[in-house]
Amino acid sequence: MIEQRYTIGEYVRERRHSVGMSCGEMAVRARIPRVVAEEVESGAREPSSDTLTQLFDALQVPVWFRGHISSLTRPDFLPSGLGAVPDTPTPDDLADLHSLTHPACFQVLPTFDIVAANSAYQRWFPGVEAGTNALEWMFLNPAAKAVLPEWSAEARLLVNAFRVLSPGLADDKRIAEIADRCGRAPEWDRMWTAPLRPDELHRDRVLVRDPVTRRNRGMIARIYAPEFPRRPWMLYRLVPGAGR
């Protein structure tokens, strides 16, 4: 059973700390009373949708991360009637994943731990298997730069997502483990501190070297959250675009 670990207030507080902002400054930017911000962080107040949007805006949380953050922090997000949620993929989950002909994997956010990858994904991204961390593979496995012609852009996106999502949502020890390992790569520190431009955040096409033709191929990235049955991971897919 996946247990609720973090609250929305804890995420807001940790995100605020990670961007070096005081509670008072956050309240001013969010246009809410400071006491409201303090009560949200402490858990004394459940923020309304409007208040949460204002806080996310003040903390510069990208809009496409907000739904996932809420799913991990809202205590009422998973009704008890849905039953237990498994920690690892069931045989049926794996059959579903392996039925996909294009590269696909199950990833747990915000740490980007890969819990399963289909055969196509493992062919296209050598060295990836269940238990691989996508960040560590990206920065420490030489295959990453070989199969991703636009490696720098893809790495920056991954680092940004990890930096924005992790504080308050992932275990501090796990965050430190991933950051320490990736820190062996010379590009890590620079990418960790460099903000992304808005146009960089909207990339949905990934240029990958086709393992069969050895030619670069543009694929569309898609991320899906399982609705039924509920699962704690996301389905990440790379599919050809229209007419390809």
Query: Which range of residues forms the domain containing residue 155?
Result: 91-240
pLDDT of residue 201: 67
Q: Which positions ≥6 away from 129 have C-beta within 8 Å?
A: 114, 117, 122
**Is residue 2, in this structure, part of any structural domain at all?**
no
**β-sheet bridge partners, residue 237:** 104, 222
Same domain, 107 and 220: yes
Same domain, 96 and 59: no
Same domain, 110 and 188: yes
Same domain, 150 and 173: yes
**Is residue 101, in this structure, part of any structural domain at all?**
yes
Number of domains comprising the chain: 2
pLDDT of residue 136: 98
Instruction: For the sheet with 113-117, list strands across it.
Output: 113-117, 104-108, 234-240, 216-224, 205-209
CATH number of the domain within which 60 lies: 1.10.260.40
**Is residue 1, in this structure, part of any structural domain at all?**
no
pLDDT tens column, 109-150 = 889 999 999 999 999 999 999 999 999 999 999 999 999 999
Contact 164, 62 (CB under 8 A): yes
Residue numbers in the chain where pLDDT is lower than 50: 1-4, 77-81, 244
pLDDT of residue 3: 40
Same domain, 115 and 187: yes
Same domain, 217 and 120: yes
Same domain, 212 and 95: yes
**Is residue 59, in this structure, part of any structural domain at all?**
yes
Same domain, 113 and 181: yes
